[in-house]
């Protein structure tokens, strides 16, 4: 295993369930929500907020165009955050152990400001710590202005963290993202659904 480890969040560190998010939006009246949400990537304005093209307020305004009755920002955010289930404590412990063993750990995540500032922040508080206790650095797609598997977001990680792709292991649940990282020189590990990155550490 390489010294530097680069992790995806959703499906690798954080447990997610697309169905819960779809159900929550449908209860609000967003009938065709499934057309916008994918297991490994989003479409339309759901992609736009992940790619940093629109902000939270613009996103909520787009949501309201698909819902026949009035809904609050809180209701929209709650439905969106239903995607995030949480992080098992043993994964948080494993991340801290990796850092204690001398590994540098980083995040590269396709995510959005609503989840980042709400459910993802809360998920990392399970041990009473914040995300800085588990990672040496973070790159999010909405901040970078592009999403995996775009080469630019990987290049930003290399530049910001001073990592060498050939000396870095990348963990992701998307085969397309792993293939993109491999082409850039990273050692990529595909983490399939219902598995844990901890199974692949050795």
- Rounded distance between C-alpha atoms, residue 143 and residue 106, angstroms: 15
Tens digit of each residue's pLDDT, the chain (202 residues): 789 999 999 999 999 999 999 999 999 999 999 999 977 779 999 999 999 999 999 999 999 999 999 999 999 999 999 999 999 999 999 999 999 999 999 999 999 999 999 999 999 999 999 999 999 999 999 999 999 999 999 999 999 999 999 999 999 999 999 999 999 999 999 999 888 898 888 7
My answer on whether 95 and 187 are in the same domain is: yes
- In terms of domains, do 72 and 134 share one? no
**Pair 30, 114 in one domain:** no
Same domain, 139 and 64: no
Count up the domains in the chain and report the number.
2
pTM, rounded to two decimals: 0.93
Identify whether residues 100 and 71 lie together within a single domain: no
Strands 4-7 and 137-140, bridge-based pairing: unpaired
Q: Where are the beta strands (DSSP E) in the chain?
A: 4-7, 15-16, 84-86, 104-109, 137-140, 168-172, 187-190
Statement to judge: residues 176 and 76 lie in one domain:
no
Q: Show which of 64, 81, 98 is a domain's final residue.
A: 81
Show the domain range for 69: 18-81
113/156 same-domain check: yes
**Domain CATH number, residue 45:** 1.10.150.240
Q: Are residues 117 and 178 in the same domain?
A: yes
Residues 43 and 77 in one domain: yes
Query: Where is the domain boundary, 81, 112, 129?
Result: 81
Q: Are strands 187-190 and 84-86 parallel, antiparallel or unpaired?
A: unpaired
């Amino acid at each position: 295993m390489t010294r530097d480890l680069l992790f995806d969040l959703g499906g690798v560190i954080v447990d997610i369930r697309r169905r819960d998010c779809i159900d929550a939006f449908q209860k609000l009246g967003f009938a065709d929500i499934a057309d916008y949400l994918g297991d490994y990537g989003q479409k339309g304005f759901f992609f736009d907020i992940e790619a940093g093209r629109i902000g939270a307020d613009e996103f909520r305004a787009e949501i309201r165009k698909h819902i026949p009755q009035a809904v609050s920002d809180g209701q929209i955010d709650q439905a969106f955050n239903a995607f995030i289930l949480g992080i098992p404590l043993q994964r948080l412990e494993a991340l801290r152990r990796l850092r204690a063993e001398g590994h540098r750990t980083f995040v590269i995540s396709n995510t959005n400001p609503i989840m980042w500032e709400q459910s993802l922040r809360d998920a990392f508080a399970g041990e009473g710590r914040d995300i800085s206790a588990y990672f040496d650095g973070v790159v999010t797609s909405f901040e970078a202005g592009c999403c995996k598997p775009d080469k630019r977001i990987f290049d930003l990680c290399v530049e910001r963290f001073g990592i060498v792709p050939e000396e870095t292991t990348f963990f992701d649940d998307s085969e397309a993202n792993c293939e993109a990282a491999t082409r850039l020189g990273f050692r990529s590990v595909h983490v399939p659904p219902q598995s844990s990155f901890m199974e692949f550490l050795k």
